[in-house]
Amino acid sequence: MMGTDTSRDGLKRAAAEAAVALVEDGMAVGLGTGSTATFAIEALIRRVKEGLSITAIPTSERSARQARDGGIELVDFASQARLDLTIDGADQVALGTLDLIKGMGGALLREKIVAAASDRLVIVVDETKVAHRLSLPIPVEIVEFGWHATARAIAALGGKPALRQAKDAPYRTDGGNLIVDCAFGTIEEPGELDRQLRDIVGVVETGLFVGRAERVLVADAAGVRELCVERGRP
Residues 65, 86: one domain?
Answer: yes
Average confidence (pLDDT) over 71-76: 98
Beta pairing, strands 203-206 & 138-142: antiparallel
Residues 50, 110: one domain?
Answer: yes
Q: pLDDT, tens digit, for every residue of 160-208?
A: 999 999 988 999 999 999 999 999 999 999 999 999 999 999 999 999 9
Residues 108, 173: one domain?
Answer: no
Residues linked to residue 180 through DSSP beta bridges, in sequence order: 140, 163
SS (H, E, C) 48-100: HHCCCCCEEEECCHHHHHHHHHCCCEECCCCCCCCECEEEECCCEEECCCCCE
- Residue 101 belongs to some domain of the structure: yes
Say how many domains are in the chain. 2
Residue in 184, 186, 171 with CA at minimum distance from that of residue 141: 171
Residues 13, 121: one domain?
Answer: yes
- Please report the pLDDT score of residue 3 as a whole number: 47
pTM: 0.92
Q: Which residues contact 60 (CB under 8 A, 6 or more apart)?
A: 33, 105, 106, 107, 110, 174
Average confidence (pLDDT) over 58-71: 97
Mean pLDDT of the chain: 94
- Residue 132 belongs to some domain of the structure: no
Residues 12, 115: one domain?
Answer: yes
Residues 41, 109: one domain?
Answer: yes
DSSP summary character for residue 188: S
Angle at 63 between CA 58 and CA 68, to 5 degrees: 85
Domain with 181, as residue range(s), is: 138-205
Q: State the CATH number of the domain containing residue 92.
A: 3.40.50.1360
Q: pLDDT, tens digit, for every residue of 98-112?
A: 999 999 999 999 999
Distances (CA, A) of 101 to 2, 55, 71, 92: 26, 27, 30, 5
Q: pLDDT, tens digit, for every residue of 25-62?
A: 999 999 999 999 999 999 999 999 999 999 999 999 99
Residues 104, 62: one domain?
Answer: yes
- Residue 80 belongs to some domain of the structure: yes
Residue 181: other Cβ atoms inside 10 A = 19
- Residue 233 belongs to some domain of the structure: no
111 catalytic? Reply is yes
- Please report the pLDDT score of residue 5 as a whole number: 60
Residues 181, 115: one domain?
Answer: no
Q: How confident is the model at residue 9 (pLDDT cuts 50, 70, 90)?
A: confident
Choosing from 17, 111, 205, 214, the catalytic residue is 111
Q: State the CATH number of the domain containing residue 147.
A: 3.30.70.260
Considering only CA atoms, give the Rg of the chain: 17
* Ramachandran bin of 220, using left for φ above 0, alpha for ψ from -120 to 50, beta for the remaining angles: beta
Q: Are 207 and 101 in contact (CB under 8 A)?
A: yes
Helix axes 61-69 and 35-49, enclosed angle (nearest 10): 20
Residues 165, 197: one domain?
Answer: yes
Residues 14, 119: one domain?
Answer: yes
Q: How far apart are CA 85 and CA 213, in angstroms?
A: 11
- Residue 96 belongs to some domain of the structure: yes
SS (H, E, C) 124-177: EEEHHHEECCCCCCEEEEECCCCHHHHHHHHHHCCCEEEECEECCEECCCCCCC
- Residue 98 belongs to some domain of the structure: yes
Residues 94, 190: one domain?
Answer: no
User: How many angstroms separate the first and last alpha carbons of the chain?
Assistant: 33
Distances (CA, A) of 187 to 37, 61, 94, 132, 208: 26, 31, 10, 11, 10
